[in-house]
Amino acid sequence: MRRVMVGVKRVVDYNVRIRVKPDGTGVVLDGVKMSINPFDEIGLEEALRIKERGHADEVVAVAIGSDDVQQQLRTALAMGADRAVQVRTAAAVEPLQAARIFLQLIAKEQPSIVILGKQAIDDDNSQTGQMLAALWERPQATFASKIEINGAVAVVTREVDAGLEKIEVDLPAVFTTDLRLNEPRYVKLPEIMKAKKKPLDVIEAGALGVDVTETLKVVKYEPPAQRTRGVMVKDAAELVAQLRARGVLQ
Amino acid sequence: MSTVLIVAEHDGHRLSPATARTVTCASRIPGAAVTIVVLAAEPDAIAKEAAALTGVQRVLTVTQAPNVHTLAAVLAPQIAELGAGFTHLMAASTTFGKDVMPRVAALLDAPQISDLMAVEGERRFRRPIYAGNAIVTIEVPAGVKVVATVRAASFAVAAPGGAAAIEPVTVKAAVPSHTRFIGVESGASDRPDLQSAARVVSGGRALGSAENFKHIYSLADRLGAAVGASRAAVDAGYVPNELQVGQTGKIIAPELYVAVGISGAIQHLTGIKDARTIVAINKDAEAPIFEVADIGLVGDLFTVLPEIERALAGK
Ligand SMILES: Cc1cc2nc3c(=O)[nH]c(=O)nc-3n(C[C@H](O)[C@H](O)[C@H](O)COP(=O)(O)OP(=O)(O)OC[C@H]3O[C@@H](n4cnc5c(N)ncnc54)[C@H](O)[C@@H]3O)c2cc1C
């Protein structure tokens, strides 16, 4: 069975305006809309396309966290994942811990491809895929904007600061997705009904032997320094005059 | 005492300015001794540039044919081997640093701090989360190696004037062959580099086509500026991906940032928070970009841009 494993992280929806709690202990999450991390949604879409093109037989969606993540896993199943696995933890885990959890699942599931988002839009870490590839001692192709599977190898186009980089990797490998890899499909109502019958297994993180106690200590949360609204000018001439007056232009 | 190993970023010939900014960050760590490692096929010229940065004590070079390309799987085991003897490891938070450092961290069994933006102590740092909508202060417990990527835009370039010793070293780490470089395609231009330019002119969805972006290029040329873009402009294919500014593109800190036909979505603003002067040109007076702009002009870009060029030319 050729399997693709995808990570699905539950995060605050990207449209929500984040506010820091007045006491600095975190950000306000009560009653806030939660969604699949957009990069993971792209990862799942890519996995489905890889399967539809005949390069895989099964897509497994994996989420780590409390039972709340089952909501995102059901969405993933409705999008088309064949199975879902929740690795249950009380709190959010750090990227290295997430990578260790994935490594344990890989040992069980033997996927030929693992796809994660290039970053999660909550902590913006951009680490888990690379860490997993290191622990697994397999290739990584991060920030992918195109993935072509050719039997036992994949050619991946990566969005890098210099432009578009192409690399070839032997499978199995870890890919992380960039925004332009694809546009995720919409979930149709009948699929949501069907998804309720698809298997969703729950595994305790402890049963995988991964220690999830926090290593990095978050001391406090603060709102960012605010930029203040400046002046409005009426036309181009005044704009240029302003720039000169401020010494920005000679 | 803190010993910091910085991984040099380069294109095979020149050291990246982002590395010089990372040196400034490392120098803020109390009592830090800063070492730079250059992994390359021909590291000498790059090492010389690194050695000339103020605050650098030592430059190590690792010369190997496979190091000609910046493949994380190839470089990480070498960096991890050298890094074992340091308390801190750092690289700029560019696509290079983001790709390689977490792989290094995992090999060293260490967590990573991404996008470090301020140093508050040997083991205490600040970084943005939620696209910069919150800033967290993080403490790394004693005994845990500090591995970090550094948000280059938050630090100035380390001044030249140093004279560090350059030391060739060898590593034992096996270099994997499972990852192979094919090529890189870039819209390479003679214009200033977006990441390090002092002035940047960016265009958004409002430009409407690749052809219309000539208005942006023209103003940029007049100002000696680099060109940037919003995600919407990149997604629409008006300009290549490497011009995207923002949470998932480049984080920049130019002296002057001109946003043309860009609404000012939070993901875009994350990329320009540290700009000195922000100018916004938008036909919608209610556009959120005006909330952060130092100078705002409400108007149609297709009339305003030519007028600005004329005003600059003094006509
Ligand atoms: C996970 C995620 C990551 C993202 N990362 C980024 C990122 O890194 N960078 C980024 O930029 N975006 C990013 N985005 C997208 C972001 O949310 C916005 O959609 C995007 O920035 C909008 O681009 P825009 O301002 O060009 O387009 P729009 O929001 O459509 O704004 C166009 C603006 O042009 C003005 N306009 C129209 N015609 C004219 C005219 N003739 N003259 C003057 N003004 C005119 C309009 O008034 C409007 O304000 C991300 C989104 C998500 C979900």
Task: Please check the confidence at residue B189 and state whether its pLDDT lies above 80.
Answer: no
Task: Collect all residues of chain A within an 8 Å Cβ-Cβ radius of residue B312.
Answer: 240, 249
CATH architecture of B2-168: 3-Layer(aba) Sandwich (3.40)
Domain assignment present for A210: yes
Domain that includes residue A96, residue range: 3-225
Beta-bridged to residue B257, according to DSSP, are: B200, B278
Omega before A172 cis (within 30°)? yes
Q: What is d(CA A76, CA A187) in angstroms, rounded to the nearest whole number? A: 9
Which residues in B lie closer than 8 A to residue A182 (C-beta atoms)?
none
- Give the per-residue pLDDT at B188: 66
Q: What residues of chain A lie within 8 A of the CB of B188, using their CB?
A: 163
Instruction: Determine the Cα–Cα distance for residues A223 and A203; give it in Å rounded to an integer.
Output: 36
Count Cα atoms within 13 angstroms, Cβ side, for A242: 21
Please check whether residue B181 is in contact with residue B69, taking contact to mean a CB–CB distance below 8 angstroms.
Answer: yes
Q: According to the model, what pLDDT value does residue B207 have? A: 98
Query: Taking the mean position of all CA atoms in its chain, how far away is CA A223?
Result: 24
Task: Determine the residue of chain A that is closest to B18 in CA distance.
Answer: A161
The rounded distance, in Å, linking the Cα atoms of B93 and A242 is 34
Q: Which residue has the tokens 């083991």?
A: B123
Distance from CA of A194 to the nearest CA of B (A): 33
Two structure tokens written together for A105: 């699942």
Alpha carbons A40 and A66: distance in angstroms, whole number = 18
Q: What percent of chain B has pLDDT over 70?
A: 99
Pair B169, B79: CB distance under 8 Å: no
Asked if the domains at B2-168 and B199-312 fall in one CATH topology, the answer is: yes
Is A171 a member of any domain? yes
In degrees rounded to 5, what are phi and psi of residue B51?
-70, -20
- Helix axes of B301-312 and A236-245: crossing angle, nearest 10 degrees: 50
Q: Is the dihedral of CA B61, B62, B68, B74 positive or negative?
A: negative
CA distance B261 to B274: 20
- Break chain B into its structural domains and give their ranges: 2-168, 199-312
Confidence category of residue B168, pLDDT binned at 50, 70, 90: very high
Please report the pLDDT score of residue B192 as a whole number.
87
What's the total number of domains in chain A? 1
Q: For residues B122-143, give the mean pLDDT.
A: 96
DSSP for B60-125, written as a single string? EEEE-GGGGS--HHHHHHHHHHHHTT-SEEEEESSHHHHHHHHHHHHHTT--EEEEE-EEEETTEE
Does the C-beta of B263 come closer than 6 Å to ligand 1?
Answer: yes
Which portions of chain A are predicted below pLDDT 70?
Answer: none
Tokens coding B50: 């690194």
Question: What CATH number did the domain enclosing A75 receive?
Answer: 3.40.50.620
Q: What Rg value do the Cα atoms of chain A yield, rounded?
A: 21
Distance from the B1 Cα atom to the nearest Cα atom in chain A, whole angstroms? 20
**What is the architecture of the domain spanning B199-312?**
3-Layer(aba) Sandwich (3.40)
**What percent of chain A is predicted at pLDDT more than 70?**
100
Beta bridge partners of A55: none
Distance (Å) from CA A205 to ligand 1 centroid: 40
- The token pair that represents B196 in the structure block: 């390090």
pLDDT reading at B315 higher than 70? no
| Pairwise CB contact (< 8 Å): B115 & A124 | yes
Q: Are B96 and B68 in contact (CB under 8 A)?
A: no
Residue A235 lies in a domain: no
Is the pLDDT at B247 greater than 80, yes or no?
yes
The protein residue whose alpha carbon is closest to atom 11 in ligand 1 is: B230
- Does residue A51 lie in a domain region? yes
| Cβ neighbours of B315 (radius 10 Å) | 6
User: What is the tens place of the pLDDT at every residue in A15-34?
Assistant: 999 999 999 999 999 999 99
pLDDT for residue A57: 98
A245: in domain = no
Return the structure tokens found at A165: 């980089």
pLDDT of B310 higher than 80: yes
Across chain B, what does the average pLDDT equal? 96
